Amino acid sequence: MTTTTGQETHAFQTEVRQLLDLMIHSLYSNKEIFLRELISNASDASDKLRFAALSDDGLYEGDSSLEIRLSFDKESRTLTISDAGIGMDHDEVIANLGTIARSGTKEFLSSLSGDQASDAQMIGQFGVGFYSAFIVADRVTVLTRRAGTEESAAIRWSSKGDGEFTIETVSKAQRGTDVILHLREDQDEFIDGWRLKSIIRKFSDHVAWPIMMPIPPEETIPDEEEGEKEAESKADGEGEQKPEWEKINQASALWTRSKSEISDEEYTEFYKHVSHDFDEPLSHIHARLEGNYEYTLLLYIPKRPPFNLWDREQKDGVRLYVRRVFITEGSEDLMPRYLRFIRGVVDSSDLPLNVSREILQQNRVMSAIRKGAVSKVLGLMETLAKDEDESKYNDFWKTFGMVIKEGIIEDAANKDRIAKLLRFSTTHDDVAEQRISLQAYIERMKEGQEAIYYVNAENSAAASSSPHLEIFRRKGIEVLLLTDRVDEWLVTHLNEFDGKPLQSVTKGDLDLSKLGGEEVSDDEEKASESEEKEASSIDGVIERVKGTLGDRIKDVRSSARLTDSPSCLVSDDHDMSASLERILKEAGQDVPATKRILELNPDHPLMQVMEKESDEARFGDWANVLFDQALLGEGGQLEDPAGYVKRLNGLLLALSSK
């Protein structure tokens, strides 16, 4: 007899209530996925128990059989999914069935558009898990007992998905969890045996644990006296005959099978199982590696980013198995953080079953597995990059490019391979979404060009309109446009590619005189030379500007970069860039301001105006305006915006009065 103690009522976390409402309405057309999610949870619970029992055999409680059971009752309109896994205690029930312990949940919910098809995909990326049960059920009951605890320590959780749930302590003889779905009136298909079997075989055939369903009485045909005795022996104390069970799925680890035996559909469904994604993967690799160590890997590149892509501490990712026993998931010891979007499994034959996190960090087998797994993933990306259908890799890069760039910083051993995978926008791209590799950039370099030029900025508009690019555009020299924040660190670790140094157009002296093939006409070149000869020397202007700006600048000099703008700011070769300085300050870092070099365009008409300016106060206004304009031009912020406006207005009025 089941006993209960003390009922508690709790409110769902706000995000859970929102998610429940969205799922019920947005995922209704994909409602059968609830069964995949609940079976996947049951499979995970079984994995966790088997791992925990390696060090504490008593958790099996005398019964080491692990299987997932589905049963239904047409009269009560209930569907039950049961497992004999690790189970949950009181606090775990509240944590797992009342909240969503994920960073960025609010941002995720606010990004939903209300479009059912689009939102369904996003919710799929988020991983609906247990809460998907409410798509088909108007009430859900969970009976669970953590393995190794007293029968009287079980918990009953119940909710109608309407904002609150109840918890009470009950007795439960069997360890593990029963999820009981009280189906809605229009969900009769989920109390039909054939329909349930078809869903299991479609979505969960690869699950390593047996998924069992009772054989209907009409399908059990006893063989005369022997069958009658067997049926009689299975009757319980009240005279009811216990059902016979049949296995519905293959119950074999998919990755252990030969690739020739696995269909594309099976690969896709296994991906959905390990990733909780609705969509099919972009690509995958399945390989068995033999040598000093033996291991099998089945790894996937998602088509869309996992919801927690920007959480570098996430625990999702690649699952580690040892001889098909689940050990851990999302370990950085198995897959580096810059590949945290990879999903799948790695199964080792050489690691000890009782492997701990400390052993993982120090084990040479683990180090070899990680090295091999990373190499295979990079090889898969290289294959995508070489594919004739470039759109597939372009889609991959738009989704995961910023994360891959982290590998240049983190993975010195594979830096050269990762560098070949990088893609960039440039000043030569006609299409905003177009990207080229560093190798393609080198092949398009001008005659005599020795460096790969780049400019950092906060966004593509600021990068492409930077005044530092003016001479490069005149000479037809391609420049990489770096607009991701990680690019600031990338270029400090990627100093050269294929023997060509990477050089910022905003740093150091610039000498492009040796480059041939300038894309200017003879008339334009002659006109430029004539202007240079006729232009008054600005040496005097430079000295006066130095005196005026004083400590605001490191130096003032004539510019070889500018053709249209009157001024720009430049850093010395080894100084911190202005954009990196801004990023660090926004992150709360105490960064000392770096004085910059102000470059003046000797051919700009304002230089002649300043050369003739005899009023020192007005000349000072010109000098400060040019400095502030150069700062604004690179995306900086003015220390005194009101002062800038006042000086500029005064100069405009003075010019208009002449």
The count of C-alpha atoms lying within 13 angstroms of the C-alpha of 84, restricted to the half-sphere facing its C-beta, is: 19
The CATH code belonging to domain 261-386 is 3.30.230.80
In sequence order, what are the beta bridge partners of 179?
Answer: 81, 142
* Superfamily of chain region 537-571+590-656: Heat shock protein 90, C-terminal domain (1.20.120.790)
CA 440, CA 454: separation in Å to the nearest integer? 15
Q: Which residue is listed with tokens 């006893």? A: 222
Domain 4-216 and domain 261-386 have a common topology? no
Nearest CA to 50 out of 26, 67, 75, 31 is that of 67
Tell which CATH architecture fits domain 4-216. Answer: 2-Layer Sandwich (3.30)
Alpha helices in 209-297, H assignment, sequence order: 224-233, 264-275
Q: Give the model's pLDDT for residue 101.
A: 47
* CB count in 10 Å sphere of residue 14: 14
Which of 331, 49, 7, 337 is CA-nearest to residue 166? 7
Amino acid 306: pLDDT: 79
The pLDDT value recorded for residue 535 is 45
**pTM of the predicted model as reported, rounded to 2 decimal places:** 0.72
Asked if residues 318 and 334 have their Cβ atoms less than 8 Å apart, the reply is: yes
Weakly modelled stretches of the chain, pLDDT under 70: 1-5, 15, 22-29, 99-128, 218-241, 312-315, 353-362, 388-389, 430-434, 516-537, 587, 658
- Nearest Cα neighbor of 360 from 372, 347, 351 is 351
> What is the second-level CATH architecture of the domain 424-519?
3-Layer(aba) Sandwich (3.40)
For 87: left if phi > 0, alpha if psi spans -120 to 50, otherwise beta; the answer is left
pLDDT at 114: 56
pLDDT number for residue 226 = 47
CA atoms within 13 A on the CB side of 656: 6
Domain-wise residue ranges, the chain: 4-216, 261-386, 424-519, 537-571+590-656
